Amino acid sequence: MTPEELDHSLRQLRLGGMADALTVRAQQARAESLGPLDFIGLLVHDELRRRRDRLIERRVKAAGFRDHKTLDTFDWSFNTGIDRALIFELASGRFIEQHEDALLLGNAGVGKSHIAQALGMAAVIAGFRVLYREAHLLFEELLLANATGERAAAIATYSEVPLLIIDDLGMRKLPVTAAEDLLEIIMRRYERGSTILTSNRPLEDWPKIFGDTPAVAAFLDRLMHHSHLIEIRGKSYRLHEHSLTARTRKALATT
């Protein structure tokens, strides 16, 4: 069988990773006098890596992240009070395995959304399915689902994913059904899935933004039961990034 025929056969078998690496690995095998098993082992590794990379790409797309953030790109020196050890412990994914939750609270711009999406990205890489939604969009989707008779399917989507991230709760006015909607989602996820929720409002303000209904106390009770509470105090990370960008542009303009 010629190399071209082998390449064609591998692609027919949907082994594109092996086919793509075939020429390079064959050259490596000759140069290093590799045996057949070592040569095949390298090709299998290439195929597995390609499949894993594609799975991650699909899951990142399905997650619906607003931005692709990582912890490596976060400026930890800006707000030094952030519990870095806890953030990296969450990034390990163990809290998802244990069906725990995380609440990130703090003023606008301190880095909550960056950290939440970075934790989501780490979870995807660790092999978990993730769904990210800005809070106002989640409630809008549920309103539409109610109108079209698809509420059960929408609730199932939010309830069954291993990690649900609800971002920026309290940034916009919520619909009157928000407390009941969130209660249903949290109850279905309780001790079955993990939720990361970010808000610029302290917990004592939540009855005000949701309306003082029994549902607020009910979902907070379940959310806090197995939750990691991360309160971020400090300056606006977003304004800091904007200032750095502005200074860089000014420096470039004067050179």
pLDDT of residue 237: 58
Q: Read off the pLDDT of each residue in 42-60 and give the average, rounded to a whole number.
A: 92
Dist CA 12 CA 54 (whole Å)? 18
pLDDT band per the 50, 70, 90 thresholds, residue 242: low
Token pair recorded at residue 98: 């244990």
pLDDT of residue 6: 87
pLDDT band per the 50, 70, 90 thresholds, residue 245: low
What are the tens digits of pLDDT across the range 111-159? 999 999 999 999 999 999 999 999 999 999 999 999 999 999 999 999 9
User: What's the alpha-carbon Rg for the chain, to the nearest Å?
Assistant: 23
Following CA atoms 189, 195, 199, 204 in sequence, which dihedral angle do they give, to the nearest 10 degrees? 50
Computed over every residue of the chain, the mean pLDDT equals 88
Lowest mean pLDDT among 32-36, 92-96, 219-223, 241-245: 241-245
Could you write out the DSSP letters of every residue in 217-241? Answer: HHHHHHHHHTEEEEEE-SS-HHHHH
pTM of the model: 0.81
Classify residue 78 by burial, with Cβ atoms within 10 Å: 0-12, 13-18, 19+.
middle
Residues of the chain with CATH 3.40.50.300: 71-241
CATH architecture for residues 71-241: 3-Layer(aba) Sandwich (3.40)
Specify whether the CB–CB gap between 131 and 163 falls below 8 A: yes
pLDDT of residue 88: 96
pLDDT of residue 95: 97
pLDDT band per the 50, 70, 90 thresholds, residue 240: low
pLDDT of residue 76: 86
Token pair recorded at residue 130: 């993730």
What are the tens digits of pLDDT across the range 60-106? 999 999 999 999 999 888 777 889 999 999 999 999 999 999 999 99
